A and B are shown apart, each in its own frame.
Chain A
Amino acid sequence: MSTDDTALWWARHRAAGPQRVPPASAHPTGMIRLVEPDASAVWLLPELPDNARPDVLDELGLPGVAVDQPNDTARVLAACLRCCWTEPSGPVWPAVPAPFDHVIGVFRGITGSRDERALHAAAMGAVRRLAGAGWVLFDEDTRVVRLGPRVASWSAAELSTLRELWRSLPAPPAGAA
């Protein structure tokens, strides 16, 4: 792949998030290929060296991208992880789809008492934000959530923290799919 093609693939990711392509099409340099469970498509995700990752911002004391409702957004991401990552000892991608109601159930469990309508509105706002950024895939018609390709960018250290978090979260209401 020419250097210009590589530059373009990295730029496409920068402009529009993780790119979903037909399985045999592109092999850009330095990008991870995440195969969809049914092998119908591949997501392309940049692979950053350890000291060029977003957590470097903390070390430098620089602000990262601002997120609306950061606490609820993080809680809903945690709830999605709890519902979709059914085997936390294994890899986080591709995990399994889960009904959004299960996610709301876990979210309710960790947010404490809140008016039901406010709870649903907060969860819906958060899951849309997360879907917009590629952290989850959310089908609004079927109300099914999956983990998004961006979760594959978590490092081994981050995943082990997340496994601990996973264990501390309440289980989804019914047996997840």
Chain B
Amino acid sequence: MSTVFDSALAELNERHRDEVLAAFAALEHGREPVPEAQLLALRDATVRRDLQRLLYRLGRTLVRAGSTHWTSGFRDDVTERLAAEGATAQSRMDRAVLVLVLVHSVAIPRSQGLVSGDSWTSAHPTSVDELTRYTQLPRGEIRPSLQRLRAAGLVQIAPPRGRSAVVDGPAYLPGPALHRLTKAARERLEHELILAAAPDSPLAAAIRARRPAPAPAPPPKAPAGQAEPAAPADETSTPERNEDT
């Protein structure tokens, strides 16, 4: 019926086909990353390749979350095309509020050594009070933005922690959708934040120097390859490149 699915899974027997489709549904429609122990198509590297091939044809790719969970995200080349044409559900305002949550919940704790790794999820809540107190955004628009971001899974309400909930009002954490960022996307986000927050820092200069000249070459894959040879998460991005041809 749906020819993309048929052609991507044509060589599989019925059982593996069902496993791949179930995993596809779990990753694409599910709220959180899925433990690999739960599904054969995540556990078994061969079937996982078939899942990756299906996702790839639909503009998606497998993304590892932690060491035992998987989710799906946009292919890096597809992200670039979508960003260039402005295909996004989030307004500028919503994106600005999301960045504020990321700064408070991830970037600041990371700079203090409280968060390790390169994930954009975090257990450090950002209170609404904190968002409104210093912001230059129109205050009345912050709450509706937070609601829309919550519907998109980009932020979530932090579980109340005793007295702080009473004192500061509701607090937010980055949402489960941030697990869907690929390694390249996580790095790009970090670089953009550094460029925005400290454009004169040596770090920002280094990021600019590593970027390809803006004009001809679109793929920003060069810096990743140069700087970090074969990080473990890269195993997900290698097979998909082969599928393309």
The contact of B2 among A3, A48, A56, A63, by CB within 8 Å, is A48
Q: Considering only CB atoms, which chain B residue lies closest to A28 in the complex?
A: B4
Least Cβ distance of B60 to chain A in Å? 7
In the bound complex, do residue B1 and residue A47 qualify as a contact, i.e. CB atoms below 8 Å apart? yes
The complex places the Cα of A49 from the Cα of B9 at a distance, in Å, of 12
The complex places the Cα of A30 from the Cα of B54 at a distance, in Å, of 13
Q: Considering only CB atoms, which chain B residue lies closest to A12 in the complex?
A: B87
Least Cβ distance of A35 to chain B in Å? 19
The complex places the Cα of A10 from the Cα of B60 at a distance, in Å, of 9
Say whether A17 faces chain B, with CB atoms less than 8 Å apart: yes
Say whether A66 faces chain B, with CB atoms less than 8 Å apart: yes
Instruction: List chain B residues, Cβ under 8 A from A12.
Output: 82, 87
Instruction: List chain B residues, Cβ under 8 A from A60.
Output: 22, 25-26, 38-39
Say whether A39 faces chain B, with CB atoms less than 8 Å apart: no
Known pairs A30-B4, A53-B25; A67 contacts B151 (CB<8 A): yes
Known pairs A11-B58, A56-B22; A66 contacts B31 (CB<8 A): yes
Within 8 A of B (CB), among A39-54: 46-49, 51-54
Least Cβ distance of A52 to chain B in Å? 4
The complex places the Cα of A59 from the Cα of B38 at a distance, in Å, of 12
Known pairs A29-B4, A51-B18; A7 contacts B78 (CB<8 A): yes
Say whether A68 faces chain B, with CB atoms less than 8 Å apart: yes
Known pairs A56-B25, A62-B30; A133 contacts B59 (CB<8 A): no
The complex places the Cα of A63 from the Cα of B156 at a distance, in Å, of 14
The complex places the Cα of A46 from the Cα of B29 at a distance, in Å, of 13
In the bound complex, do residue A15 and residue B4 qualify as a contact, i.e. CB atoms below 8 Å apart? no
Instruction: List chain B residues, Cβ under 8 A from A46.
Output: 2, 58
Say whether A132 faces chain B, with CB atoms less than 8 Å apart: yes
Instruction: List chain B residues, Cβ under 8 A from A52.
Output: 5, 21-22, 24-25, 28
Instruction: List chain B residues, Cβ under 8 A from A47.
Output: 1-2
Instruction: List chain A residues, Cβ under 8 A from B26.
Output: 56-57, 60, 62
Most buried by B among A3, A67, A68: A3
Instruction: List chain A residues, Cβ under 8 A from B153.
Output: 65-66
The complex places the Cα of A6 from the Cα of B21 at a distance, in Å, of 19
Say whether B56 faces chain A, with CB atoms less than 8 Å apart: yes
Most buried by B among A10, A46, A52, A133: A52
Say whether B102 faces chain A, with CB atoms less than 8 Å apart: no
Known pairs A14-B59, A52-B24, A65-B31; A30 contacts B151 (CB<8 A): no
Say whether B74 faces chain A, with CB atoms less than 8 Å apart: yes
Least Cβ distance of A112 to chain B in Å? 26
> Across chains A and B, which 3 residue pairs bring their CB atoms closest together, nearest first?
A11-B59, A56-B25, A7-B59
**Apart from A11-B81, A59-B22, A60-B38: 7 A-B pairs, beta carbons within 8 A:** A10-B4, A11-B87, A12-B82, A14-B60, A48-B5, A49-B2, A60-B25
18 contacts between A and B (CB under 8 A): A6-B4, A6-B58, A7-B75, A8-B82, A11-B74, A11-B75, A12-B82, A15-B88, A46-B2, A51-B18, A57-B26, A60-B25, A60-B39, A62-B34, A64-B29, A66-B150, A66-B151, A129-B151
Enumerate chain B interface residues (CB-CB to A < 8 A): 1-5, 18, 21-22, 24-26, 28-32, 34, 38-39, 56-60, 74-75, 78, 81-82, 87-89, 147-148, 150-151, 153, 156, 244
